[in-house]
């Protein structure tokens, strides 16, 4: 599988053929070094752990782009991955050869990111997955993503907005977006689910809406208006309160459906785009000088808090929000359910306190 011979120069050469059938060689001043390499190469070839050092010369960015091209991601996830790598990882590691990147480089990257801890963790996970793929492709022997210290994620309890805050946000928005605020606060749909809502998904007679699609922003182009939802649990039917039905009817009479029969559109009756909507949101909401700077997602929290306040079970709240598991619901909203200590005392007293 490998051999050692002496060159006319007096050096010792190890020769072998790699798994791709390409002849390889390396010379040394001493025979013992050539023999050591011969033994290592034969072991690696026999155990299928052989790594061509030249393969690791490929840059991180070149390999990462090839890796992205073959991933089976939802459109929104693909955009998120590409954006995070381009903005935060490529500037530090993109031009580096895969084999040259060390654990300390990864730790340095993690420390340098001026982002929220949860976002840093997401970016690190993508980077780690790419290096794992490079190992699987036998471009490098091991991933540098080992024993990396990530910033601590401090969980912040959800504090639902007051009704008055929701009303103030609605009134601050442009007229063509006011019903969107009522709809989001009254159904808990995610932003993309609201943006992808079409007239045929609303059943005014049964007072419910079908959630089976979302609008997802694409790189530099118009949003994908028929993108799949986050999980199978996200496909659901949500009941509509009379106030939401009334808001939808009034909206559609004043602002006819846009392209693809979209219920909510921008001022030019074009599909809403996340970035441009964000600009409108901040222009409208920031002047309100609210204590906590609200986001569109806070409307979803508001809806969840209404259901919990009315005593609906965890399973019902889970279904309405389209959460994958009840644990996800509890992890986010457990603190909003009424404390059961008094009920526990009363239950024991009723039985044992006779």
Confidence of residue 204 (pLDDT cuts 50, 70, 90): very high
Which tens digit of pLDDT belongs to each residue from 248-259?
999 999 999 988
What token pair was written down for 211? Answer: 């959630």
Q: What percent of the chain clears pLDDT 70, i.e. is strictly above it?
A: 95
Count CA within 13 A, CB hemisphere, residue 106: 25
- Identify the pLDDT of residue 343: 62
Please name every residue paired with 165 in a beta bridge, in sequence order, or none if there are none. Answer: none
Residue 194: count of CB within 10 angstroms of its CB: 24
- CATH superfamily, domain 163-336, is Intergrase catalytic core (1.10.443.10)
What's the rounded mean pLDDT across residues 178-191? 96
Where are the alpha helices (H) located in the chain, listed in sequence order?
A: 31-46, 60-69, 75-84, 103-112, 117-136, 163-172, 175-187, 191-195, 242-254, 274-285, 297-309, 314-321, 326-333, 341-352
Q: In what order do the strands lie in the sheet with 2-6?
A: 2-6, 12-17, 23-28
The structure's pTM equals 0.72
Confidence of residue 280 (pLDDT cuts 50, 70, 90): very high
Locus of tokens 């009254």 = 186
Domain limits, the chain: 2-50, 57-136, 163-336
- Identify the pLDDT of residue 223: 79
pLDDT at 340 over 70: no
- Identify the pLDDT of residue 40: 83
What's the rounded mean pLDDT across residues 273-281? 92
Q: What percent of the chain clears pLDDT 90, i.e. is strictly above it?
A: 61
Nearest to 130, CA basis, from 65, 58, 57, 49 = 65
Residue 101: count of CB within 10 angstroms of its CB: 23
What's the rounded mean pLDDT across residues 81-87? 91
Residue 278: count of CB within 10 angstroms of its CB: 13
Count CA within 13 A, CB hemisphere, residue 249: 11
What's the rounded mean pLDDT across residues 193-204? 96
Start-to-end CA distance of the chain, whole Å, equals 87
- Identify the pLDDT of residue 170: 95
CA distances from 114 to 17, 153, 188, 210, 244 (A): 47, 14, 31, 39, 40
pLDDT at 231 over 70: yes
- Identify the pLDDT of residue 347: 67
Range 57-136 has CATH code 1.10.10.2520: no
- Identify the pLDDT of residue 1: 75
Average pLDDT of the chain is 89
What's the rounded mean pLDDT across residues 56-60? 87
Which tens digit of pLDDT belongs to each residue from 307-316?
999 989 999 9
What's the rounded mean pLDDT across residues 81-91? 93
pLDDT top residue among 342 and 188: 188
d(Cα 65, Cα 305) in Å, to the nearest integer?
42
pLDDT at 214 over 80: yes
pLDDT top residue among 87 and 49: 87
What's the rounded mean pLDDT across residues 171-194? 96
Q: Are 106 and 130 in contact (CB under 8 A)?
A: no
């Amino acid at each position: 599988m490998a051999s050692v011979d002496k060159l006319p120069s007096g050096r010792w050469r190890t020769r072998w053929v790699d798994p791709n059938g390409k002849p390889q060689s390396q010379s040394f001043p001493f025979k013992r070094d050539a023999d050591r390499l011969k033994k290592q190469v034969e072991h690696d070839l026999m155990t299928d752990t052989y790594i061509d050092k030249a393969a690791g010369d490929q840059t991180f960015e070149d390999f990462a782009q090839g890796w992205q091209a073959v991933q089976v991601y939802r459109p929104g996830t693909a955009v998120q991955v590409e954006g995070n790598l381009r903005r935060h990882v490529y500037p530090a590691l993109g031009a580096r050869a895969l084999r040259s990147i060390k654990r300390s480089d990864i730790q340095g990257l993690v420390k340098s990111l001026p982002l929220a801890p949860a976002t840093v963790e997401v970016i690190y996970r993508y980077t780690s997955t790419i290096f794992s793929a490079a190992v699987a492709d036998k471009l490098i022997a091991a991933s540098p993503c080992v024993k990396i210290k990530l910033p601590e994620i401090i969980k912040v309890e959800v504090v639902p907005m007051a009704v008055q805050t929701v009303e103030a946000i609605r009134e601050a928005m442009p007229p063509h977006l006011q019903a969107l605020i009522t709809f989001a606060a009254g159904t808990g749909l995610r932003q993309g689910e609201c943006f992808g809502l079409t007239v045929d998904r609303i059943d005014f007679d049964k007072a419910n809406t079908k959630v089976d699609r979302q609008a997802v922003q694409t790189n530099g182009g118009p949003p994908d208006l028929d993108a799949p939802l986050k999980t199978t649990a996200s496909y659901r039917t949500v009941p509509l309160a009379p106030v939401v039905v009334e808001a939808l009817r009034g909206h559609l009479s004043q602002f006819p459906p846009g392209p693809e029969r979209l219920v909510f559109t921008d001022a030019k009756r074009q599909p809403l785009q996340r970035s441009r909507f964000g600009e409108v949101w901040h222009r409208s909401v920031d002047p309100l000088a609210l204590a906590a700077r609200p986001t569109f997602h806070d409307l979803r929290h508001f809806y969840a808090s209404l259901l919990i306040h009315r005593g609906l079970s965890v399973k019902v709240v889970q279904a309405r929000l389209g959460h994958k598991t009840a644990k996800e619901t509890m992890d986010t909203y457990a603190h909003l359910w009424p404390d059961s200590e008094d009920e526990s005392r009363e239950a024991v007293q009723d039985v044992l306190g006779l």
